[in-house]
C-alpha cells in the first residue's frame, strides 16, 4: 500500500514538472527562435529524461515489493510449519470433514488414535465421518445443530472404534457453509465418565454409611450452608434433605437457637488449623425437646485452610433425665437420712466419724456436728468403745456386712438396738470405711416373747393363706407378715415389706389419717371388721384394701399390737361404685334416673302409709322438643334438657324430688301434698316454670310442657299404678292441645290407643 502511494506521488510530481518545463520552454524558445523548432526538440529531450527517471523509480519500487513478498512467503511457510506442528502434536483429536460426511479432509494423530488407528493415512483412507457414530441419530443431531447455529460446543456423542468398543466424547465444531466442510475437535471423556461413576458410587456408599450411623451427622461449608446430612439427622428434625441441604441454621432452627449455633460455628471457622468444639443444647424435633451434645471439628483443604466443619449430635436426654432422677434421689435420701427412725452413721477406716443422723447423735448425747471428726473413744467409755472398734475391724477385714444386737449406752431408758454394719466401697474397689444402721428393737423383742407361744400353732395357716395376714405395732411397723401380705402391697416377699416399711400409715395409706381412725376404733371396739381404705403399692399404684383387725391388749388395757387379715377390695369397690352411679343418676342432667325415682317413690309411699300423708306424682313431657332437636341438632337438644332440669330444681320444694325418665320426659315426686288441690296448684306452677324461651346452643327456642298428675292413695297405692295414671293424664293434655296440666281420674283407660302413641312420638 505504501509503495502504491509513493508511485502515485512521484508520477504526479513528474507530470507537473513536465508541464512547467513545457510552458516555460515555449515561452523561452518562442522568443529566440521564430519558427520554434529548436524549442520542440529541447522539450522532447526533457520529457524523455523524465520518463527515464520514472522508470528507474518504479523499478526500485518493484524490487522492494518483491523482497517484501519473499519475506511474507517465508513467514507464511514458517507459520504453516508451526501450526502444522501444533495440529499434529495436539493431545485432542482435531479434524476437518466434508459436510455430507463422505470423507475426512484432515485429521491429526490424536484423532486417528482415538478411533483405534496408528496411521493417520489409514484412518483417512478407511473411515468416513458417518462411520464413527454409535448411532445415526447422533450424527444427524450434530449436523442439524451446525446448520441451525453454525457452531456446536461440547456436544456429548458416543463413538465406535475400529475394534467395536465405544467411547464417550465431547465435540466442538464449526461449519464453513461456503466451502461445505466442518472443522472441530473431539475430547475423549470416557475415563472421566468412569471416574464420575466411581465417585458417584463412592458418594452413595458414603451416604449409606452415614445413614447407617445412629447419631445425627452433618457437614456445612464456611458460608454456614448444610451440604451433607444423614438419615438420623433428618429423623431427629422430622424433615427431608431438600428442606435442609443448601440452607443455614436460620432456615431450620428457631431464631434464638440459630443465633447460638451460628456464633459457635463462626468461632470454629475463625480458628487456625484443626479445631474442635463440644457443647450442650436443646433441639426440638419429632419427639419433642431433646437434650443433645454437639461435637464439631473443622475440615481443612490441601493448603490447611478451613473449608467447613463436620458435626455429630449425641442425644443425652436419657442421661439428663437420669441425672435429674439421681439429684431427686439424693434429695430423697438426704431427707430419709435426716428423718429416719434408725440410728445411722458412717466413719472412715481409722474409725473417725464422717457423719450421722439426728437419731444416732441423740443416742450419744451430742449434736450431729459434734460427732463428726471424733472417734468412738472420744464419745463412749473405753470398754464400750473397744467393743465397737472390734466389730468395725471384722467388717473391714471380711468386707462383709455384720449384724449384731447391742444396747444404747446413753439412752435414758435402756433400749435394745439391732446394729447392721457394712463396708463402704468405692466404684474403683477402694475401701472407704464403715456404714452402720441401728434399729430400736426393744418393743419388737417384748412382742416376740409374747407371740412365741402362739406362733407355731398358726404358722402353717399363716404361710399358706391367700389373704394377707399380719401383726403390726400401733405406731406403724410390721412385726410379722405372710407372703400374701407382701404381694398385696407389691413387695417380692414379706421380709421386704417388713424391712422397707417403717411407718405403715405414712408409706402405705393414701390418706394416713385412715390408719389413725383404724387404730382409734381398735382401741375403742377391740376389733374392727370390714374396714376399707385406699392404699399404695410399692410402685405407687393405688388399690382398696379391706381389713379385719383385732387388738392385743395388756392387763392395763394398753394396746400392744394388732393382728389381722387383709384382702384386695379394689374390684368390688369399683363395681359397687359404678353400679351405684349408673343406678341412681342421669348422666346428662345429673337428676335421679327412672330407677332411682322408683326406689325413692317406694320409700315415700311406705312412709306415707305409716304417717297417713299424701304423695303426688307429676309426669312431664316437653312440647316442641323433637322439632328443636331435629332442627338444631342433638347438642341443642341436650342443652335444652339441661336447662329444663335446672328450672325443675329451682321450682322444687325442699321435700320434693325431680327425675329424668328418658328422652324429654321428667317426673316430680311431691311429698305431703295435703290434698288434690295442692297437686293441681303445684302442677300448674311447673307448667308456667317450664314454658318459655330458651337459648339452646346459641339458638333461640321456645317450648311448653304438658303435665299429668296422680295422687297417693286416691289414684293408686303402687309406684306403677301412680306413674301410669299420671302418664295417661299427660297424654290427655297432649290430645287436648298441649301446654297444660291435668289430674288423673279413675275413669282413665290403662291402655293407650295407637293414635295417642303417634301423637306422643310427634312431640
pTM: 0.33
What is the domain class of 340-440 according to CATH? alpha beta
- Report the candidate in 599, 696, 606, 609 with the shortest Cα–Cα distance to residue 646: 696
The residues of the chain scoring below 50 in pLDDT are: 1-10, 12-14, 16, 18-22, 24-35, 749-762
The predicted pLDDT at position 693 comes to 95
The predicted pLDDT at position 481 comes to 94
Distance CA 434, CA 420 (A): 10
The CATH architecture of the domain made up of 90-188 is 2-Layer Sandwich (3.30)
Domain covering 454-574 in this structure, CATH number: 3.30.450.20
The CATH architecture of the domain made up of 194-320 is 2-Layer Sandwich (3.30)
Distance CA 54, CA 5 (A): 14
* The CATH number of domain 585-762 is 3.30.70.270: yes
The three-state DSSP-derived secondary structure of 555-578 is: CCCCEEEEEEEEEECHHHHHHHHH
Domain extents for the chain?
2-65, 90-188, 194-320, 340-440, 454-574, 585-762
Contact 432, 440 (CB under 8 A): no
Instruction: Tell whether the torsion through CA atoms of 592, 595, 601 and 603 is positive or negative.
Output: negative
Instruction: Report DSSP letters for 707-725, one per residue.
Output: EEEEEETTS-SSHHHHHHH
The predicted pLDDT at position 75 comes to 64
Q: Do domains 340-440 and 454-574 have the same CATH topology?
A: yes
Amino acid at each position: 500500500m505504501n509503495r502504491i502511494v509513493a508511485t502515485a506521488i512521484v508520477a504526479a510530481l513528474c507530470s507537473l514538472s513536465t508541464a512547467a518545463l513545457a510552458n516555460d520552454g515555449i515561452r523561452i524558445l518562442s522568443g529566440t527562435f521564430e519558427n520554434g523548432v529548436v524549442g520542440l526538440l529541447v522539450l522532447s529531450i526533457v520529457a524523455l529524461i523524465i520518463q527515464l527517471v520514472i522508470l528507474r523509480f518504479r523499478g526500485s519500487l518493484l524490487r522492494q515489493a518483491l523482497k517484501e513478498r519473499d519475506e511474507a512467503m517465508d513467514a507464511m511457510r514458517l507459520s504453516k510449519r508451526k501450526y502444522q506442528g501444533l495440529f499434529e502434536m495436539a493431545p485432542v483429536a482435531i479434524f476437518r470433514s466434508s459436510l455430507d460426511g463422505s470423507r475426512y479432509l484432515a485429521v491429526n494423530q490424536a484423532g486417528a488414535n482415538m478411533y483405534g488407528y496408528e496411521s493417520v493415512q489409514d484412518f483417512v483412507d478407511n473411515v468416513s465421518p458417518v462411520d464413527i457414530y454409535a448411532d445415526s441419530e447422533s450424527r444427524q443431531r450434530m449436523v442439524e445443530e451446525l446448520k441451525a447455529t453454525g457452531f456446536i460446543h461440547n456436544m456429548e456423542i458416543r463413538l465406535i472404534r475400529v475394534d467395536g468398543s465405544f467411547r464417550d466424547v465431547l465435540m466442538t465444531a464449526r461449519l464453513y457453509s461456503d466451502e461445505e466442510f466442518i472443522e472441530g475437535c473431539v475430547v475423549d471423556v470416557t475415563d472421566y465418565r468412569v471416574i464420575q461413576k466411581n465417585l458417584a458410587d463412592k458418594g452413595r456408599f458414603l451416604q449409606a454409611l452415614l445413614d447407617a450411623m445412629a447419631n445425627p451427622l452433618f457437614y456445612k461449608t464456611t458460608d454456614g450452608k448444610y451440604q451433607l446430612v444423614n438419615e438420623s439427622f433428618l429423623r431427629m428434625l422430622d424433615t427431608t434433605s431438600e428442606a435442609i441441604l443448601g440452607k443455614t441454621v436460620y432456615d431450620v432452627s428457631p431464631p434464638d437457637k440459630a443465633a447460638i449455633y451460628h456464633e459457635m460455628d463462626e468461632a470454629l471457622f475463625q480458628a487456625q488449623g484443626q479445631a474442635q468444639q463440644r457443647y450442650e443444647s436443646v433441639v426440638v424435633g419429632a419427639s419433642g425437646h431433646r437434650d443433645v451434645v454437639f461435637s464439631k471439628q473443622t475440615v481443612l483443604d490441601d493448603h490447611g485452610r478451613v473449608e467447613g466443619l463436620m458435626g455429630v449430635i449425641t442425644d443425652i436426654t436419657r442421661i439428663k433425665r437420669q441425672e435429674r432422677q439421681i439429684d431427686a434421689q439424693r434429695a430423697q435420701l438426704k431427707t430419709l437420712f435426716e428423718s429416719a427412725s434408725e440410728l445411722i452413721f458412717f466413719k472412715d477406716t481409722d474409725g473417725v466419724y464422717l457423719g450421722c443422723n439426728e437419731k444416732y447423735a441423740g443416742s450419744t448425747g451430742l449434736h450431729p456436728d459434734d460427732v463428726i471428726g471424733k472417734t468412738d473413744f472420744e464419745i463412749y467409755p473405753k470398754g464400750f468403745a473397744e467393743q465397737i472398734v472390734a466389730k468395725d475391724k471384722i467388717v473391714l477385714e471380711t468386707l462383709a456386712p455384720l449384724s449384731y444386737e447391742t444396747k444404747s449406752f446413753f439412752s435414758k431408758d435402756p433400749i435394745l438396738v439391732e446394729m447392721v454394719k457394712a463396708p463402704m466401697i468405692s466404684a474403683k474397689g477402694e475401701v472407704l470405711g464403715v456404714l452402720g444402721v441401728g434399729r430400736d428393737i426393744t418393743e419388737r423383742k417384748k412382742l416376740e416373747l409374747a407371740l412365741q407361744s402362739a406362733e407355731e400353732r398358726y404358722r402353717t395357716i399363716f404361710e399358706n393363706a391367700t389373704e394377707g395376714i399380719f401383726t403390726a405395732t400401733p405406731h406403724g411397723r410390721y412385726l410379722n407378715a405372710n407372703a400374701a401380705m407382701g404381694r398385696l402391697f407389691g413387695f417380692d416377699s414379706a421380709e421386704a415389706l417388713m424391712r422397707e416399711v417403717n411407718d405403715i400409715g405414712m408409706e402405705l395409706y393414701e390418706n394416713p389419717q385412715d390408719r389413725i381412725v383404724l387404730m382409734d376404733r381398735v382401741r375403742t371396739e377391740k376389733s374392727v371388721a370390714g374396714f376399707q381404705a385406699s392404699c399404695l403399692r410399692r410402685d405407687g399404684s393405688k388399690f382398696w384394701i379391706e381389713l379385719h383387725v383385732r387388738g392385743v391388749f395388756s392387763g392395763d388395757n394398753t394396746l400392744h399390737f394388732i393382728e389381722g387379715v387383709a384382702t384386695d377390695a379394689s374390684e368390688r369397690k369399683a363395681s359397687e361404685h359404678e353400679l351405684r352411679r349408673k343406678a341412681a343418676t342421669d348422666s346428662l342432667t345429673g337428676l335421679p334416673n327412672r330407677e332411682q325415682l322408683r326406689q325413692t317413690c317406694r320409700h315415700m309411699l311406705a312412709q306415707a302409709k305409716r304417717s297417713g300423708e299424701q304423695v303426688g306424682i307429676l309426669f312431664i313431657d316437653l312440647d316442641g322438643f323433637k322439632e328443636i332437636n331435629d332442627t338444631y341438632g342433638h347438642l341443642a337438644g341436650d342443652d335444652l334438657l339441661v336447662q329444663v332440669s335446672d328450672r325443675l330444681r329451682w321450682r322444687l320444694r325442699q321435700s320434693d324430688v325431680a327425675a329424668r325418665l328418658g328422652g324429654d320426659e321428667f317426673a316430680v315426686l311431691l311429698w305431703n301434698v295435703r290434698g288434690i288441690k295442692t297437686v293441681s296448684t303445684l302442677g300448674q306452677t311447673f307448667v308456667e316454670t317450664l314454658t318459655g324461651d330458651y337459648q339452646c346452643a346459641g339458638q333461640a327456642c321456645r317450648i311448653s310442657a304438658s303435665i299429668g298428675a296422680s295422687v297417693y292413695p286416691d289414684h293408686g297405692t303402687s309406684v306403677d299404678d301412680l306413674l301410669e295414671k299420671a302418664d295417661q293424664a299427660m297424654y290427655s293434655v297432649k290430645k287436648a292441645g298441649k301446654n297444660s296440666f291435668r289430674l288423673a281420674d279413675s275413669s282413665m283407660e290403662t291402655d293407650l290407643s295407637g293414635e295417642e302413641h303417634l301423637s306422643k312420638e310427634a312431640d
